[in-house]
Amino acid sequence: MSHPSLHPLAGYGWDADWEAAFAPHAERGLVPGRVIRVDRGLCDVVTADGVVRADTEFVVPRDPLKVVCTGDWAAVDPEDHDPRYVRALLPRRTAFARSTSSRRSEGQVLAANVDHTLIAVSLGAELDLGRVERFLALAWTGGAQPLVVLTKADLVPDPATVDHLVADTELSAPGAQVLPVSAATGDGVDVLAAVLAGGTSVLLGQSGAGKSTLANALLGTEAQAVRAVRDGDGKGRHTTTTRDLLPLPAARGGGVLIDTPGLRGVGLWDAEDGVGQAFSEIEALAQRCRFDDCAHQAEPGCAVLAAVEDGSLPERRLTSYRKLLRENARLAARTDARLRSEQKQLYKQRAALGRHMMERKRGGGRHSGW
Ligand SMILES: Nc1nc2c(ncn2[C@@H]2O[C@H](COP(=O)(O)OP(=O)(O)OP(=O)(O)O)[C@@H](O)[C@H]2O)c(=O)[nH]1
Ligand SMILES: [Zn+2]
């Protein structure tokens, strides 16, 4: 199999690097597959022979961030049992995780091995750049390349206005491409499909931003049939036709789209590392501030404030940056509170242990060190 592009799983993102990573498992006689859906200890895995059910019992980790997730590459049993077993997961390239607000160190992976994060933003409403920035910070944290898709472009009749909105968004999205698209007219869909070709994409965005419509436009007619099945069977479980990972049409270059309910309900995310990347131009300016710990408030020699002053940095950007940093600090403080209470427990246990040891010592035992 020296031509991974001819591999039956190539359409699902299988490449030479995955093949190399899989080699030890292949030696054990296991077969590779990509997880297209996870459901309570079982998952659906697409293999060269089609979709199989597999039990994840043997790959249950202690770390919730390593739980089998849609998008993972798995090594499964070759036998035709139902279900088979997932024996190992290949190390992830990227992982889209969410931390539940109350238990930050826990977290939950929503999608694995994602190449592109599409942030859908509707042009049918006033452009909320603050929201775009927030999603970008989240996207950068996931490790995939973000892309802002301005949806419903047909609702802005004047092309010059669309150009302006794109330019405005670009200023708020350093390092990310911004594409106007209309699923209604099809404008921009081919351009977008070409960007996503061959990779794994996820769609983020507010409710009503046009994610489903865009997904359908990208997926073509097959997906609509799949969705009809999903809608029709109520809970949408236990049929291999419901999947959270769908192949994009080969005619447009292929790739896959992951659309999980968890990604849909994106709320509080841990965007810690992402904020810096979402505001990379500000962080670059900050390198030139006179003081290393410059807060860009009123310090002399502040390069960030100077850029606001001379108009090269929109003040709105600095305000957004501060707001997101503050939000993260609040999240971090909450974590600290939890850590602190855990520490307290630990100290209590130690103190109790210390007392116990002291008593044993006093009781005549020859224990040293305590
Ligand atoms: N004019 C126009 N309307 C669109 C376009 N894409 C989506 N819409 C409309 O926008 C509304 C919301 O679209 P959805 O695709 O359901 O949005 P969503 O982001 O999936 O929403 P949730 O499922 O709530 O997350 C629907 O009424 C769509 O018909 C478009 O390209 N042009
Ligand atoms: Zn400064």
198 is in an annotated binding site: no
Whether the Cβ atoms of residue 70 and residue 111 lie closer than 8 Å to each other: yes
pLDDT at residue 183 in the model: 95
Instruction: Judge if the beta carbon of residue 277 lies within 6 A of ligand 1.
Output: no
Instruction: Judge if the beta carbon of residue 122 lies within 6 A of ligand 1.
Output: no
Together in a domain, 107 and 144: yes
Together in a domain, 10 and 139: no
pLDDT at residue 343 in the model: 47
Q: For residue 322, give the ligand nearest its CA.
A: 2
Together in a domain, 110 and 56: no
Whether the Cβ atoms of residue 169 and residue 156 lie closer than 8 Å to each other: no
Q: What's the number of domains the chain is made of? A: 3
Together in a domain, 228 and 161: yes
Q: For residue 187, give the ligand nearest its CA.
A: 1
Together in a domain, 104 and 250: yes
* CA 175 – ligand 2 centroid, Å: 22
- The reply to whether 344 falls in a domain is no
Q: Quote the CA–CA distance of 103 and 175 in Å, as a whole number.
A: 31
* CA 183 – ligand 1 centroid, Å: 9
Whether the Cβ atoms of residue 73 and residue 36 lie closer than 8 Å to each other: no
Instruction: Judge if the beta carbon of residue 171 lies within 6 A of ligand 1.
Output: no
Q: For residue 206, give the ligand nearest its CA.
A: 1
- The reply to whether 292 falls in a domain is yes
Residue 18 lies in domain: 4-91
Together in a domain, 103 and 87: no
Q: What angle do CA 74, 76, 79 make, to 5 degrees?
A: 160
Residue count (the chain): 370
Q: For residue 124, give the ligand nearest its CA.
A: 1
Q: Which CATH number do you get for residue 23?
A: 2.40.50.140
ipTM of the complex in this document: 0.97
pLDDT at residue 230 in the model: 45
Threshold 0.90, pTM exceeds: no
Instruction: Judge if the beta carbon of residue 211 lies within 6 A of ligand 1.
Output: yes
Together in a domain, 185 and 248: yes
302 is in an annotated binding site: yes
- The reply to whether 324 falls in a domain is no
206 is in an annotated binding site: yes
**Mean pLDDT for each 10-residue chunk of the chain (370 residues)?**
68 94 96 93 92 91 84 93 91 80 62 94 92 87 91 95 96 95 96 95 89 91 49 39 83 89 57 78 94 91 96 94 81 58 54 55 46
Q: Quote the CA–CA distance of 205 and 220 in Å, as a whole number.
A: 21
69 is in an annotated binding site: no
Which residues lie across from 33 on neighbouring strands?
47, 74
* CA 61 – ligand 1 centroid, Å: 38
- The reply to whether 290 falls in a domain is yes
Together in a domain, 154 and 256: yes
Together in a domain, 237 and 182: yes
pLDDT at residue 64 in the model: 76
Whether the Cβ atoms of residue 105 and residue 63 lie closer than 8 Å to each other: no
Together in a domain, 182 and 145: yes
Where is the domain boundary, 91, 118, 146? 91
Where is the domain boundary, 91, 118, 134? 91
Instruction: Judge if the beta carbon of residue 93 lies within 6 A of ligand 1.
Output: no
Whether the Cβ atoms of residue 39 and residue 243 lie closer than 8 Å to each other: no
- The reply to whether 270 falls in a domain is no
CA distances to 49, 57, 76, 82, 333 from 41, rounded to whole Å, are 22, 7, 14, 14, 34
Together in a domain, 204 and 169: yes
Q: Quote the CA–CA distance of 149 and 219 in Å, as a whole number.
A: 16
Q: Which CATH number do you get for residue 283?
A: 1.10.40.50
Instruction: Judge if the beta carbon of residue 178 lies within 6 A of ligand 1.
Output: no
Who contacts 302 (Cβ-Cβ below 8 Å, separation ≥6)?
A: 289, 290, 291, 294, 296
Whether the Cβ atoms of residue 203 and residue 214 lie closer than 8 Å to each other: yes
- Give, for ligand 1, the residue of 122, 131, 211, 213 to mutate: max count of ligand atoms closer than 8 Å to Cβ: 213
- The reply to whether 362 falls in a domain is no
Q: Which CATH number do you get for residue 100?
A: 3.40.50.300
User: Which H, E and C letters describe 142-194, residue by residue?
Assistant: HCCEEEEEEECHHHCCCHHHHHHHHHHHHHCCCCCEEEECCCCCCCCHHHHHH
Q: Quote the CA–CA distance of 181 and 199 in Å, as a whole number.
A: 19
The protein residue with its alpha carbon nearest to ligand 1, atom 30, reads: 152
Whether the Cβ atoms of residue 211 and residue 257 lie closer than 8 Å to each other: no
* CA 133 – ligand 1 centroid, Å: 21
The residue behind tokens 């190390």 is 91
Query: Exposure of 34 by Cβ count < 10 A (0-12 exposed, 13-18 middle, 19+ buried)?
Result: buried
Together in a domain, 109 and 241: yes
CA distances to 96, 282, 356, 359, 363 from 367, rounded to whole Å, are 50, 59, 12, 11, 11
- The reply to whether 249 falls in a domain is yes
- The reply to whether 366 falls in a domain is no
CA distances to 106, 110, 260 from 75, rounded to whole Å, are 25, 20, 22
- Phi first, then psi: what are they for 341, rounded to 5°? -70, -35
